[in-house]
């Protein structure tokens, strides 16, 4: 019975182990010609001279070299670059497939706006992939920025007495998307910076330098391809840094707007609390002088109720006393809730002066003070 229970599990494991993943591959050569094919993972890494872990599908960002091959992982974009061709693995993505068919082939062939077409093939391939990824990050930022600004403008409006919860929900979602974008930009910069810090890694990215005799002669004659590769990576590092600065400004704007929203809410809350306190004081004043009416309302006889003018006299005293007590309480409340006066600032310090002139202002103030201290005794 124990063998019978374990038999299906062992059979399923053997079946899964025998199945090798199949990659849908798009191949581009130096002229921009495109071919499509499907190949098993084992066959593909054996043909490329790579190891199985090099073609592992991990949604990470990395640029590595192995056996004169460049392996680029940009999350869902995975590519293998050789001196002769470029392989895009598992390209079944709508936005990715559109870019592959419409732009990548022409860029690899040296057409379009890229300026590195005269350099070896791996330069064009790396630049095309980095340019695509930067454009994706730029597009995400361009989509988030107007939405965040519009939402913040609606939330910070001082005319609104309450905060729209739907706008807060939109701001929360946009803030989460902005955090993801900042993380992607940070990982992208760290990936490129890791290569820029190692001169050996930059040399390894220049594949044609060690395989193409013409490129090797150019490098020996003074054309430093490693320096060109370093400039290429620095260019996209600066673009990512600019995007990160824009995203950081949006984050600061969101934080400042949140502070303004809290200040507005506190202000409205203080107004309501003050109104409640004023009404409480009014109720106390009326109740205090209402005791006179309570005293006359008791079932006790006196000679005062016989006079018709006593009713109006007592009523007037009640209203007048309640009003006076209420006004007195309001004046007491106003004295204790008024903000303190700002400290007096000299007129000289109010003027905005450049940094270089601050020392002169301080010296002049010291001289004037010293002169006054000498003339005061004489006066």
Tokens of 200: 């050996």
The model carries a pTM of 0.65
> CA–CA separation, 200 vs 226, rounded Å?
9
Contact 128, 104 (CB under 8 A): yes
CA distances from 166 to 147, 163, 262, 348 (A): 13, 9, 17, 49
Contact 120, 208 (CB under 8 A): yes
**Side-chain-facing half-sphere of 79: CA atoms under 13 Å:** 25
pLDDT digits (tens, 9 = 90+) for 213-267: 666 666 665 567 788 889 999 999 999 999 999 999 999 998 888 887 777 777 7
> CA–CA separation, 233 vs 239, rounded Å?
10
Contact 225, 119 (CB under 8 A): yes
**Closest CA relative to residue 161, chosen from 271, 268, 259:** 268
Q: What is the pLDDT along the chain (379 residues), one digit of tens a residue?
A: 444 444 444 444 444 444 567 888 888 888 878 888 888 888 888 888 887 777 776 667 888 888 888 988 888 888 899 888 899 887 776 577 778 877 888 888 776 544 444 678 888 899 999 999 999 999 999 999 999 988 888 877 766 656 677 888 888 899 899 999 999 999 999 999 999 988 888 888 888 776 766 666 666 655 677 888 899 999 999 999 999 999 999 999 988 888 877 777 777 788 788 888 878 877 877 777 777 777 667 665 666 667 778 778 877 887 787 788 778 777 776 665 555 555 554 554 344 444 444 444 444 444 444 443 444 444 3
Q: What angle do CA 365, 369, 374 make, to 5 degrees?
A: 150
> CA–CA separation, 117 vs 111, rounded Å?
8
The set of long-range contacts for 307-312, using a CB threshold of 8 Å and a minimum separation of 24, is none
pLDDT digits (tens, 9 = 90+) for 36-90: 888 888 888 888 888 777 777 666 788 888 888 898 888 888 889 988 889 988 7
> CA–CA separation, 5 vs 333, rounded Å?
83
CA distances from 225 to 10, 62, 165, 191, 316 (A): 54, 21, 56, 20, 101
- Strands, E assignment, the chain: 22-29, 34-40, 61-66, 69-74, 77-81, 85-89
Residues listed for the chain:
379
DSSP 45-73: HHHHT--GGGG---S-EEEEEETTEEEEE
Say which residue the tokens 């590092």 belong to: 237
Tokens of 207: 């594949």
């Amino acid at each position: 019975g124990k063998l019978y229970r374990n038999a299906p599990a062992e059979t399923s494991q053997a079946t899964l182990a025998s199945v090798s993943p199949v990659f849908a591959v798009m191949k581009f050569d130096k002229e921009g010609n495109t071919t499509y094919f499907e190949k098993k993972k084992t066959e593909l890494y054996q043909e490329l001279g790579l190891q199985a872990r090099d073609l592992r599908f991990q949604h990470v960002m990395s640029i590595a070299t192995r056996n004169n091959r460049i392996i680029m992982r940009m999350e869902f974009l995975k590519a293998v670059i050789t001196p002769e061709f470029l392989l895009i693995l598992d390209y079944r993505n709508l936005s990715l497939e559109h870019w592959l068919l419409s732009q990548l082939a022409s860029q690899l062939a040296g057409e379009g706006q890229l300026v590195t077409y005269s350099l070896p093939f791996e330069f064009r391939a790396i630049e095309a992939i980095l340019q695509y990824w930067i454009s994706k990050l730029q597009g995400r930022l361009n989509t988030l920025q107007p939405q965040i600004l519009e939402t913040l403008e609606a939330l910070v409006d001082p005319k609104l007495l309450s905060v729209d919860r739907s706008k807060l929900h939109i701001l929360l979602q946009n803030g989460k998307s902005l955090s993801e974008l900042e993380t992607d930009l940070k990982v992208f910069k760290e990936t490129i910076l890791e290569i820029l810090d190692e001169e050996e890694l930059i040399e390894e990215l220049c594949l044609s330098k060690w395989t193409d005799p013409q490129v090797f002669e150019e490098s020996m004659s003074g054309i430093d391809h490693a320096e060109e590769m370093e400039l290429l990576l620095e260019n996209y590092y600066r673009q990512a840094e600019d995007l990160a600065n824009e995203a950081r400004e949006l984050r600061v704007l969101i934080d400042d707007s949140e502070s303004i929203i809290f200040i507005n809410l506190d202000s409205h809350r203080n107004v309501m609390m003050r109104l409640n306190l004023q009404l409480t004081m009014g109720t106390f004043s009326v109740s205090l002088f209402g005791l006179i009416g309570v005293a006359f309302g008791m079932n006790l006889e006196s000679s005062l109720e016989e006079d018709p003018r006593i009713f109006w006299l007592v009523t007037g005293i009640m209203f007048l006393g309640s009003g006076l007590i209420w006004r007195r309480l309001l004046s007491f409340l106003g004295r204790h809730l008024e903000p303190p006066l700002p400290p007096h600032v000299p007129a000289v310090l109010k003027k905005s002066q450049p940094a270089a002139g601050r020392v002169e202002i301080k010296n002049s103030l010291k001289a004037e003070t010293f002169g006054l201290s000498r003339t005061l005794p004489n006066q």
